[in-house]
């Protein structure tokens, strides 16, 4: 249990992604998504968490390799972080596509 806690202390962004994923899953149940919508939501949740895990792996590998500043090490970390940002942006777009019509219909707009 200590290793899990220390992992999430080091990888706070992953913890944020997991917490947001739980909220999205609860909203999905409440809004009664159809199978197609569930597939989209599960895909983007997996996509974001996977990119975050790859980002963490690259950062750890670079840190294990060198503790000095190296231009290529910085680029590797930045590109990995960019992949997470892109996947998070994609998940927001998909989330709007899935949830916005349902929320608007609840509000009778």
- Cα(59)–Cα(49) distance, integer angstroms: 15
Is 59 noted as a catalytic residue in this protein?
no
Residues in the chain: 109
- Cα(109)–Cα(101) distance, integer angstroms: 9
Tokens of 57: 């792996």
Q: Per-residue DSSP letters for 4-34?
A: HHHHHHH-HHHHHHHHHHHHHHHHHHHTT--
Catalytic residue from among 37, 52, 59, 71 = 52
Residues marked as catalytic: 52
């Amino acid at each position: 249990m200590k290793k899990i806690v220390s992992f999430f202390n080091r990888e706070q962004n992953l913890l944020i992604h997991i917490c947001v994923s739980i909220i999205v899953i609860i909203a999905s149940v409440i809004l009664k998504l159809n199978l197609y919508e569930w597939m989209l939501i599960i895909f983007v949740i997996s996509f974001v968490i996977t990119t975050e895990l790859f980002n963490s792996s690259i950062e750890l590998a670079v840190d294990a390799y060198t503790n000095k500043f190296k231009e290529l090490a910085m680029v590797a970390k930045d590109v990995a972080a960019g992949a997470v940002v892109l996947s998070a942006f994609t998940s927001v777009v998909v989330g709007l596509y899935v949830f916005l019509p349902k929320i608007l219909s609840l509000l009778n707009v």
